[in-house]
Amino acid sequence: QVQLVESGGGLVQAGGSLRLSCAASGRTFSSYGGGWFRQAPGKEREFVAAISRSGGNTYYEDPVKGRFTISVDNAKNTLYLQMNSLKPEDTAVYYCAARVISTNQYAYWGQGTQVTVSS
């Protein structure tokens, strides 16, 4: 079991940056893969980025490639999402999640943090 708590959301102007954090308690991210998802108003939740247990492999959805960076600090048991060059279409609730390796399913989710990008 793992509990996840996101932080770092807020209001930022277009072109600005934010860094989201996801602190884990219980088992560490080194036991799971990590991922970030987002859900905009009126839309389904969508995948944003993922990272392997070791942190050596990362994956990004096309709209965020080159602007967002996912990372993990296993010593601090924290997952991060650095978001640069933010656009109004990035506005959403962002969720972190832990992926169970054996099933490749995201079984544990945080409560979400709001990111609002103004134009």
CA pair distance 102, 80, nearest whole angstrom: 23
The pLDDT, as a whole number, for residue 26 is 81
Q: What tens digit of pLDDT does each residue of 107-118 get?
A: 999 999 999 999
- Token look-up 């602190």 returns 23
The pLDDT, as a whole number, for residue 37 is 98
DSSP summary character for residue 95: E
Q: What tens digit of pLDDT does each residue of 22-59 get?
A: 999 987 778 889 999 999 999 999 999 999 988 899 99
The pLDDT, as a whole number, for residue 27 is 75
Mean pLDDT across the stretch 74-87?
95
